[in-house]
């Protein structure tokens, strides 16, 4: 074995342990960094070609890996915009230049423009509900926009859909065709009536009278009227007639709706076209019993608070108690998360070894749940890092002794001629 090879091997060992100590230093420094994933140094042998009777020492090479796929402990907070992923997946964020990255650091707060940014200044990205219920672009970041929540200004949303469930009494007496509510005559009769609140284009409340009328065995008619157009004291007739009517059919054995009609459509006065879903109606041997109705839209108002569900939907809750879906936060993933490129700011970028980025929503497939009011702690174990530091220090010292011995022997060799 050459003395030069011996010294080179000692330097290789010291360099490897220095890399190990560097990862330990980073881990300890980021022990309290939200979403941080510890790095570790792995060693592999470096073997040099040898000949008979002679051994050429090689050394050791290092590879730094990050435990990106490991789950940190969730710490609950009082801020609704603090987000954590419980399971697989990453939040999609972008920097000031618009470049997208992945992260598990979910300590988001609104900036001066209402955008949700984390401690490193990266903006949270999501899909907007402005054009309807969003769908994820599975193989790219197209369609994602920065989440902006501003409490300034007033907004109003017209009603476009709703649902109404109830039990219609099977023992109801049929009403003659000439006296049905749809005729809008002064003698109109009905079996049951409920009222719903909807919203027009300006956010004004519109009271809708919904009439259910038995027209025969298993047959019912539903009619919707504008309550403000009713004749004072008698209801019928309504000025302008019914907003919409539909005929429903029920199975006399099961009491469930049959046929193609399970809704009624109409236009809210000074508002938008609206469809009222009636698919949960039943006809059983019990009294008329409405269940929880729902109608979308909201009156003019400012955002009172924001709520984020486990599927990543961001809701604005207004002061009048109404709510509106604003954004849906996606989760991104790759085939090999531990092979992602770690960058400054606790973000990750796709690499040639990580696999392509795929995007979906929480609780779908392998994706985890999004937890609002929680942060994912660093996965660093201080005791483990200190142990690793002591081991690296001793190995570094031992390798330095090898180098020092080689240097001493080199001095002996040089001084042989003297």
pLDDT (tens, 9 = 90+) of the chain, 418 residues, equals 577 778 888 888 899 999 999 999 999 999 999 999 999 998 888 887 776 667 777 788 888 888 999 999 999 999 999 999 999 999 999 999 999 999 999 999 998 888 999 989 999 999 999 888 899 999 999 999 999 987 655 678 899 999 999 999 999 999 999 999 999 999 999 999 999 999 999 989 999 999 999 999 999 999 999 999 999 888 899 999 999 999 999 999 999 999 889 999 999 999 999 999 999 999 999 999 998 899 988 888 777 788 999 999 999 887 777 778 899 999 999 999 999 999 999 999 999 999 999 999 999 988 999 999 999 999 999 999 999 999 999 999 998 998 888 888 888 887 886 6
- Parse the chain into domains and list their residue ranges: 3-67+379-417, 74-150+307-333+357-375, 161-300
- pLDDT for position 188: 94
- pLDDT at 301 (0 to 100): 75
* Percent helix, strand and coil across the chain, each to the nearest 5: 20, 40, 45
pLDDT at 199: 94
End-to-end CA distance of the chain: 24
pLDDT at residue 418 in the model: 64
Class of 161-300 in CATH? mainly beta
Query: Would you mind telling me the total number of residues written for the chain in this entry?
Result: 418
d(CA 181, CA 130): 37
Task: Please state, in angstroms and as integers, the Cα–Cα distance from residue 319 to each residue in 14, 130, 158, following that order.
Answer: 64, 21, 17
Q: In what order do the strands lie in the sheet with 294-295?
A: 263-267, 273-277, 161-163, 294-295
What distances in angstroms separate CA 173 from CA 58, 181, 208, 217, 374, one per listed residue? 97, 15, 24, 9, 57
Give the distance, in angstroms, between the CA of residue 261 and the centroid of all CA atoms in the same chain: 35
Question: What DSSP assignment string belongs to 109-160?
Answer: EE-TTSBEE-TT-PEEEEEESTTSS----TTS-TT-EE-B---SS-EEE---
Identify whether the C-beta of residue 351 lies closer than 8 Å to the C-beta of residue 334: no
- Of 206, 226, 222, 204, the C-alpha closest to 214 is 222
Give me the residues paired with residue 205 across strands. Answer: 199
Phi-psi region at 204: left, alpha or beta (left = phi > 0; alpha = psi -120 to 50):
beta
pLDDT at 157: 84
CB of 320 closer than 8 Å to CB of 298 = yes
Residue 416 is predicted with a pLDDT of 82
Looking at residue 382, the DSSP 8-state letter turns out to be: H
Beta carbons of 190 and 175 less than 8 angstroms apart: yes
Q: How large is the C-alpha radius of gyration of the chain?
A: 35
Cβ neighbours of residue 254 closer than 8 Å, sequence gap 6 or more: none
Residue 151, pLDDT score: 62
**φ/ψ of residue 17, rounded to 5:** -70, -30
Residue 180's closest CA among 240, 238, 229, 223? 223
């Amino acid at each position: 074995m050459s003395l030069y090879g011996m010294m080179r091997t000692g330097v290789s060992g010291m360099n490897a342990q220095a890399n190990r100590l560097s990862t330990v230093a980073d881990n300890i420094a980021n022990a309290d960094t939200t979403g941080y994933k510890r790095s570790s140094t792995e060693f592999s042998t470096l073997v040099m070609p040898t000949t008979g009777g002679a051994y050429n020492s090689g050394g050791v090479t290092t590879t730094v890996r990050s435990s990106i796929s490991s789950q940190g402990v969730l710490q609950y907070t009082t801020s609704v915009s603090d987000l954590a992923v419980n399971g697989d997946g990453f939040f999609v964020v972008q920097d000031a230049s618009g470049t997208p990255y992945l992260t598990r650091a979910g300590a988001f707060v609104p900036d001066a423009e209402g955008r949700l940014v984390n401690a490193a200044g990266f903006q949270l990205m999501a899909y907007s509900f402005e054009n309807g219920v969003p769908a994820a672009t599975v193989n790219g970041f197209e369609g994602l926009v920065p989440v902006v929540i501003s409490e300034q200004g007033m907004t109003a949303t017209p009603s476009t859909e709703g649902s109404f469930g109830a039990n219609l009494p099977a023992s109801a007496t049929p009403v003659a065709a000439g006296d049905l509510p749809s005729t809008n005559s002064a003698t109109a009769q009905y079996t049951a009536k409920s009222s719903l609140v909807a919203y027009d284009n300006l956010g004004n409340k519109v009271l809708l009278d919904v009439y259910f009328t038995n027209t025969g065995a298993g047959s019912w008619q539903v009619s919707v009227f504008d309550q403000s157009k009713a004749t004072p004291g008698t209801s019928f007739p309504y000025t302008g007639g019914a907003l919409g009517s539909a005929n429903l059919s029920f199975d006399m054995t099961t009491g469930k709706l049959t046929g193609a009609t399970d809704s009624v459509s109409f236009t809210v006065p000074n508002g938008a076209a609206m469809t009222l879903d009636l698919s949960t109606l039943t006809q059983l041997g019990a009294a008329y019993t409405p269940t929880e109705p729902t109608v979308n839209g909201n009156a003019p108002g400012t955002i009172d608070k924001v709520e984020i569900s486990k599927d990543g939907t961001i809701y604005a809750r207004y002061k009048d108690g109404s709510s509106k879906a604003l954004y849906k936060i996606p989760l991104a993933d790759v085939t090999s998360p531990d092979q992602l490129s770690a960058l400054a700011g606790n973000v990750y970028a796709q690499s040639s070894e990580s696999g392509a980025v795929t995007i979906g929503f929480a609780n779908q497939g392998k994706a985890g749940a999004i937890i609002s009011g929680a942060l994912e702690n660093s996965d660093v174990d201080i005791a483990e890092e200190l142990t690793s530091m002591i081991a690296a220090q001793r190995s570094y010292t031992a390798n330095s002794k090898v180098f020092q011995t080689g240097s001493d022997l080199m001095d002996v060799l040089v001084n042989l001629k003297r």
